[in-house]
Amino acid sequence: MTLAGTIGSIILWTVLVSLFGLVAGLFLLGIDRKLAAHMQARIGPPLRQPFIDIRKLLVKENIVPENAIPWLFNSAPVIAVVSSLVILLYIPLGSLISPLGMYGDLILVMYLLTIPALAMVAGGFASGSPYATVGAQREMVTMIGYEFPLAIVVIGIAWRLWAAGVAHPFLLSSIAGNPIWGIVGPLGIIGLILLLIVLAVVTPAELSRIPFDTQEAETELAGGLLVEYSGRNLALFSLSTAVKTLVMGALAVAIFFPWNLSSFVAMPAGVAQVADLLFFLAKVVLVMFITVTLVRVGMARFRINQVVTVYWVHFALIGLAGLLLLMADSALGTAAGVL
């Protein structure tokens, strides 16, 4: 294939993955609302409700506050949704190869995850609203809290793969191609469970969901970061949240549950890719139900002064314990090999 053909195929695949991310992300939000409603003995909205909300927002007036910085206020939602879609381009979707999977790794993904949140912070400060300003400050505090435990999870998984001799241990394709559970021993399994718990607790904070939605707390800040947003801008922020929901679920699946259906059941190549994609979505739905829906129905919001303590003390220690267990597991495996 020529260079032009290769670039063209990458662009086409990028567009298709982006469209899939938008549709699947909104679908996940619909499932989340429906399941949460049933858990609270309500009927809830239809699964298509997020699509209806986006369509209504796109045709409503886009209001810019008088005290806002217009160019920053309007560009923040665009940056948020585009950066969320870019993250998705690095993560495997079932057995489908990600468009940019060979050009970035977990470290890059971890840094890209901060861009949508920073865009919301910038938009909140640019709006000129005191509520949004307080929300932006809270978002930055929350980011400071969960980045450290997330880094422990990333380093722990990559280090254990490296210790097992896996090439390019930070690449998501390498992680997905070498399921971590088959590499470790009993101590390593306990360590992986601890790291999985840490990632599960980081997920609602990344998505600004209960119990870590202090930056948008409606009862305290009237919507916080998004209080001044409406119309197209609010629709873009909603799309960013939808895509990021898919991203966090896909990241957990790629790291901890990378198995494909076609690995267990023989089927033609085309059918295998579709089956693996559906199996991937089922795993993402299960992950998001446990880490987001179940948590927000069963818990109340943390106070902002509790967020950093929860992450830097409690879950950082849990993550470090998991990392130490992985190191001990590797050392025991090496000693057993020598003997």
Range of 240's domain? Answer: 3-338
- Kindly compute the dihedral angle of the four CA atoms of residues 289, 81, 259, 253, in this order, to the nearest 10 degrees: -40
pLDDT tens, residue by residue, 46-59: 999 999 999 999 88
| Residue 248 near residue 234, CB atoms below 8 Å | no
Torsion of CA 307, 126, 19, 93, to 10 degrees: -30
Task: Please work out, in degrees rounded to the nearest 5, the angle formed at the alpha carbon of residue 43 by the alpha carbons of 42 and 49.
Answer: 120
Tell me what pLDDT residue 338 has: 46
Regarding pTM above 0.75, the answer is yes
Buried b vs exposed e over 10-47: b needs ≥16 C-beta within 10 Å?
eeebbeebbebbbebbbbbbbbbbbbbeeeeeeeeeee
Please say whether the beta carbons of 217 and 308 come within 8 A: no
Helices in 41-171 by DSSP H: which ranges? Answer: 49-59, 70-88, 106-112, 114-126, 130-163
In angstroms, the Cα distances linking 237 to 83, 206, 226 are: 11, 14, 9
Q: Which residues of 63-85 are buried (b: 16+ CB within 10 A; e: fewer)?
A: ebbeebbeeebbbbbebbbbbbb
DSSP code at position 93: B
Length of the chain: 339
Model pLDDT for residues 127-167, shown as the tens digit of each residue: 888 888 888 888 888 888 888 999 999 999 999 899 888 88
* Tally of CA atoms within 13 A in the half-sphere of 42 that contains its CB: 10
Q: What is the pLDDT of residue 323?
A: 92
Count of the separate structural domains present in the chain: 1
Report the alpha-carbon distance of residue 316 to residue 179 in Å, rounded.
24
User: Hey, CA dihedral for 295, 300, 301, 303, is it positive or negative?
Assistant: negative
| Residue carrying structure tokens 């560009």 | 75
Write out residues in the chain with pLDDT < 70, as ranges: 1-6, 217-224, 333-339
Phi-psi domain of 200 (left: phi exceeds 0; alpha: psi -120 through 50; beta: other): alpha
